[in-house]
Amino acid sequence: MNTTIMLFLVQDGITNGAIYALLGLALVLVFAVTRVILIPQGEFVTYGALTYASLAAGQMPGTAKLALALGIGAFAFDLFVARKALHARLIVRSFVTNIVLPGIVLALTVYFASEKPPVAICIALSLVIVAMIGVYLYRIAFQPLAHTSVLVLLIASVGVHLALQGLGLLFFGAEGQRGPAVLSGAFTAGTLRFTGQSITVYAITIAFIVGLWLFFGLTLYGKALRATAVNRLGARLAGIRTTLSGQIAFLLASVIGALSGIMIVPITTLYYDSGFLIGLKGFVAAIIGGLVSYPLTAVAALVVGIVEAFSSFYASNYKEVIVFMLLIPVLLLRSLAAPAVEEEKD
């Protein structure tokens, strides 16, 4: 291997690692706040990517209809939970956020899908659709189980993943899709060539990480999310609704997932089930970060990306195996460092 190839591999690894970093951060966030191991994170990637690609190709994505269907489900849940003390304000608020909003987005999607809209509109619609799916899924599948064990939440998470993957096949078919580059053009620096898309990946990743840092450090809602992650009972005693924190966490995770998908789909062909493997690599990074440390997760994600790039070069058949094998020494070290497992306290 010469230096040029090595630099190419490192560059490729950093580009992939940046996306894994975002996904890993989302997984850590969701787990810390809700204790849900978010297996469907990969589906947010796929849905974001393929909704974007479908819109750009002038096709109507089924995800917009799914968002409305889930919104109706969320509305029904709200009504059922509040059935003994129904207030007009609560019904109206729930109706607007769960039915009117996805209804408007569906109408806009139908309108724009036939027009082959510009990239910016495709991105905006894809993000909003997946964000709504994420929030409604939390309401329907996870919020009612919020006080159960991590294992029950994990089972629900696997169920949601399987359902979304099946729906993905229904909406997008078995054929893969690619989307248009967010930013075209390229430039070279020495032997390295930087495409507009790879620059977009770096820029969005950095912007998102800085944005999250500011959100968590400076805003009341960001602090409330951190507080919920640190001490759920303490947060509730301070009047912070853990359901609100869960909704915000799922909103961020779904937006991050969709954004990652939109960044990947111009680089590589994505299928309805591709997101699972991509999400799992973010999961590897999150596990290395102990599902608690954001900086460690980000660094681990870059390592995962670089290891993946080098193993693609040296042993492409085994690249996934090599990447997932990173977990073994980490889990071994963590098991030695924490021999006792405490019972969950709710």
Partner 1 sequence: MSALLSVTDAHVAYGKVEAVRSVSLEVGTNEIVTIVGANGAGKTTLLSAIMGILPLKGRVAFAGQDLARLDIEDRVAMGLGLVPEHRELFVTMNVEDNLELGAFRIERSKAKASMERVYTLFPRLKERRKQFAGTLSGGEQQMLAMGRALMGEPKLLMLDEPSLGLAPIIVADIFRIVGQLRASGVSVLLVEQNAQAALKIADRAYVMELGEFVLSGKASDVAANEGVAASYLGFQHEGENVS
Q: Does residue 238 belong to the site contacting partner 1 (CB under 8 A)?
A: yes
Q: How far apart are CA 113 and CA 331, in angstroms?
A: 46
Applying CB under 8 A, among 3, 174, 239, 337 the residue interacting with partner 1 is: 239
Binding mask 156-195 for partner 1 (x = CB under 8 A): ----------------------------------------
Q: How far apart are CA 208 and CA 38, in angstroms?
A: 19
Q: Which range, of 55-63, 217-225, 279-287, 307-315, touches partner 1 by CB under 8 A?
A: 217-225
Token representation of residue 322: 């090599």
Question: Minimal distance in Å, beta carbon 36 to partner 1?
Answer: 20
Q: What is the dihedral of CA 251, 246, 20, 307, to 10 degrees?
A: -170
Applying CB under 8 A, among 203, 236, 280, 296 the residue interacting with partner 1 is: 236
Q: Does residue 226 belong to the site contacting partner 1 (CB under 8 A)?
A: yes
Q: Does residue 145 belong to the site contacting partner 1 (CB under 8 A)?
A: no
Between 72 and 296, name the residue whose CB sits nearer to partner 1. 296
What are the distances in angstroms from CA 245 to CA 22, 35, 40, 134, 237?
A: 19, 12, 18, 13, 14
Between 184 and 231, name the residue whose CB sits nearer to partner 1. 231
Between 220 and 336, name the residue whose CB sits nearer to partner 1. 220
**195 by DSSP, 3-state: which?**
strand
Q: How far apart are CA 180 and CA 64, in angstroms?
A: 20
Q: Does residue 237 belong to the site contacting partner 1 (CB under 8 A)?
A: yes
Q: Does residue 85 belong to the site contacting partner 1 (CB under 8 A)?
A: yes
Q: How far apart are CA 259 and CA 186, in angstroms?
A: 21
Question: Minimal distance in Å, beta carbon 344 to partner 1?
Answer: 15
Q: Does residue 253 belong to the site contacting partner 1 (CB under 8 A)?
A: no
Applying CB under 8 A, among 153, 224, 298, 323 the residue interacting with partner 1 is: 224
Q: Which 103-142 positions form the footprint of partner 1 (CB under 8 A)?
A: none
Binding mask 65-84 for partner 1 (x = CB under 8 A): -------------------x
Secondary structure (DSSP) of 292-334: T-HHHHHHHHHHHHHHHHHHHHHHGGGHHHHHHHTHHHHHHHH
Contact yes or no for 113/60 (Cβ under 8 A): yes
Between 81 and 163, name the residue whose CB sits nearer to partner 1. 81
Q: How far apart are CA 91 and CA 75, in angstroms?
A: 8
Q: Does residue 230 belong to the site contacting partner 1 (CB under 8 A)?
A: yes
DSSP 22: H
**194 by DSSP, 3-state: which?**
strand
Q: Does residue 342 belong to the site contacting partner 1 (CB under 8 A)?
A: no
Question: Minimal distance in Å, beta carbon 259 to partner 1?
Answer: 28
How many residues belong to the site for partner 1 (CB under 8 A)?
18
CB hemisphere CA count around 106 (13 angstroms): 17
Question: Minimal distance in Å, beta carbon 288 to partner 1?
Answer: 20
Residue 193, beta-bridge partner list: 188
Q: Which range, of 172-180, 194-202, 216-224, 281-289, touches partner 1 by CB under 8 A?
A: 216-224
Q: Does residue 89 belong to the site contacting partner 1 (CB under 8 A)?
A: no
Which secondary-structure segment (H or E) carries 188? strand 186-189
Query: Of the candidates 148, 137, 130, which has an alpha carbon nearest to the alpha carbon of residue 47?
Result: 130
Contact footprint for partner 1 (CB under 8 A): 84-85, 220, 223-224, 226-227, 230-231, 233-241
